[in-house]
Amino acid sequence: MSFKDSSFHGLNEECGVIGVINVPNANYYLYLGLHALQHRGQEASGMVTIDNNMVNIVKRKGSIVNSFSKEDMESLKGNIGLGHVRYSTFGGKSTINIQPFVFTLHHTQYVTCHNGNIVNASTLKKKLEKRGSIFFSFSDSELLGHLINTSKKLTTIDKIDESLKELVGAFSFIVIENNKIYGCRDKWGLRPLVLGKLKDGYILASETVALDAVGANFIRDVEPGEIIEISNDGNISSKYYTPPKQCKNNMCAMEYIYFARPDTILEGKNVHEKRVQTGRELAKEHPLNADIVIGVPDSSLSAALGYSQYSKIPYDIGLVKNKYIGRSFIAPSQEERERIVMMKLNPNKHVLENKRVILVDDSIVRGTTMKSIVKLIHDAGAKEIHIRIASPEIKWPCFYGVDTSRRAELALYAQSKDEYLRNLKYATSLEFISLNGLQKSLDRWTKNGNLCTACFSGKYPSKLHDCENEVNNENK
């Protein structure tokens, strides 16, 4: 979230975080973990390590592989550290916004990184500035450091506990202080955070794929509302900043649908298997006769496979992805998104020509990608193009860390499904999975929570605070 714009039309982030402790050559583990999390953001990367109280920092624009040099890696000495990958919207590309952030508070150094979005950020910033805080970035991720600084509690875990009570929204924070590492998750459980064991140390990360990349054993998810403290000697303790009975397990639906890597385990569920099940449910709800089923690489392939399995219509590779182009939804500006779509996909004409095609995609957000893809398939000679979407219609903005904070930007907000279909020009039909079908596919009917489906339903798990005007103004 950007502090520059009180209407929150600026910086929103979907990021990846990682932290390791008591690991020789922590930089190596951070690098491998961030590479595994690169799908969560390609615009910038940062790493911080600590060696004998010396803080080493490297922050670079671009992907981890392309931006970190051998010299950068050699400078990151120590056995404890944090890493972060991010993307931003307009106005947020400055290097001052690249995490992790380092704070020196009362002669104590804190390092923090964050995935999510704080919906009462502007209010808290004004409050903290009145107390004397000086902000050096435009990111809401900086808030926790200043809240810790103003806390009167004696221990770090109690300072963090008191600080998190001030925050409303989605967050998974990792904090380092005095050879200890802390993992914190919001009480709604909107963003993921997992704990793993290395030979003599521990790792915290956004997804289990980061654990796999460094050879760590998965221990468990950090629970909603929980703060985990890990010391250098391996002692682990935890507390909740909100009583556990008041915490909810409202994981963001888009983590399952789009953001997480298919081989990630979210809350004990394999993402690929759940996407396959979503495709099967989509075929059950919206059947039709066709020649082939294809998916939009990469996040839609599992759902396309599921659609094929249930419908008995052959699955094929109709679109080939240029793997050296980033994800269009995560590209910072609309112009860049449109340019990337045309560069990153090539139609397989041999597969598509004279075929009735079922095109499965994970979601329609701004509609930029779909319009371009439909034209590519049409120009390759497809007879019919039937679009099937493995998520409900996205009609509401997200304020919890997904780059859709303006409702007017959403393709299906200002126009009906039929109007959107007509604007696609070459598409034959368009259908979406129902909300009930999505929840059924993901096994997300529980006593203590459900999926966060605010972008589909407009029902937000928390109060929106500083973001309320965006919803209210769009409804007028």
The domain segmentation of the chain, as residue ranges, is 16-248, 264-460
Q: How far is the C-alpha of 334 from the C-alpha of 376, rounded, in Å?
A: 19
φ, ψ dihedrals at 133, nearest 5°: -70, 140
Length of the chain: 476
Q: How far is the C-alpha of 380 from the C-alpha of 320, rounded, in Å?
A: 13
Angle in degrees, 0-180, between the axes of helices 271-285 and 301-311, rounded to the nearest 10? 50
Task: Decide if 226 contacts 185 (C-beta within 8 A).
Answer: yes
CA proximity to 336, closest of 72, 43, 109: 43
Q: How far is the C-alpha of 1 from the C-alpha of 89, rounded, in Å?
A: 9
φ, ψ dihedrals at 103, nearest 5°: -120, 140
DSSP state of 251: -
Kindly provide the residue ranges of all beta strands, DSSP E only, lying in 213-303, ordered along the sequence. Answer: 217-221, 226-231, 236-240, 265-266, 269-270, 292-295
Task: Decide if 16 contacts 115 (C-beta within 8 A).
Answer: yes
- Residue-level pLDDT at 272: 98
Q: In 3-state terms, what secondary structure has residue 435?
A: helix
- Residue-level pLDDT at 448: 46
Alpha helices in 320-414 (DSSP H): 334-344, 349-352, 368-379
Q: How far is CA 75 from CA 35, 49, 88, 378, in A?
A: 19, 9, 27, 52
At 157, list the tokens: 């875990």
Q: In 3-state terms, what secondary structure has residue 173?
A: strand
Q: How far is the C-alpha of 332 from the C-alpha of 86, rounded, in Å?
A: 11
Q: In 3-state terms, what secondary structure has residue 402?
A: coil
15 is catalytic: yes
DSSP secondary structure string for all residues of 110-123: EEEEEEEEETTHHH
Class level of CATH domain 16-248: alpha beta
Tell how far CA 279 is from the center of its chain. 21
At 417, list the tokens: 């499904």
Q: How far is the C-alpha of 242 from the C-alpha of 228, rounded, in Å?
A: 13
Q: How far is CA 397 from CA 72, 116, 367, in A?
A: 38, 14, 15
Which is the catalytic residue, given 15, 113, 398, 452?
A: 15
- Residue 341 neighbours by CB under 8 Å, 6+ apart: 328, 368, 369, 372, 373
Q: In 3-state terms, what secondary structure has residue 467?
A: helix
Q: Give the CATH fold of the 264-460 domain.
A: Rossmann fold (3.40.50)
DSSP state of 256: I
Q: How far is CA 17 from CA 26, 143, 184, 245, 439, in A?
A: 14, 17, 12, 27, 27
Kindly provide the residue ranges of all beta strands, DSSP E only, lying in 362-461, ordered along the sequence. Answer: 384-389, 429-432
Q: How far is the C-alpha of 393 from the C-alpha of 381, rounded, in Å?
A: 28
- Residue-level pLDDT at 131: 87
Mean pLDDT for back-to-back runs of 10 residues, the chain (476 residues): 32 76 97 96 94 95 92 97 79 75 85 93 91 83 89 95 96 95 97 97 99 98 98 96 94 94 96 98 98 96 99 98 64 62 86 99 91 94 99 94 82 93 96 96 65 94 80 48
Task: Decide if 386 contacts 356 (C-beta within 8 A).
Answer: yes
DSSP state of 422: H
In angstroms, how far is the first alpha carbon of the chain from the final one?
Answer: 24
- Residue-level pLDDT at 336: 66
- Residue-level pLDDT at 369: 84
At 82, list the tokens: 């944090």
CA proximity to 116, closest of 219, 255, 245, 9: 255
- Residue-level pLDDT at 170: 94
User: Does this chain's domain 16-248 share its CATH topology with 264-460?
Assistant: no
φ, ψ dihedrals at 224, nearest 5°: -55, 130
CB atoms within 10 A of CB 367: 17
- Residue-level pLDDT at 166: 95
Kindly provide the residue ranges of all beta strands, DSSP E only, lying in 43-177, ordered along the sequence. Answer: 44-51, 54-61, 80-86, 101-105, 108-118, 169-177
Q: How far is the C-alpha of 283 from the C-alpha of 16, rounded, in Å?
A: 32
- Residue-level pLDDT at 89: 41
Q: How far is the C-alpha of 359 from the C-alpha of 308, rounded, in Å?
A: 11
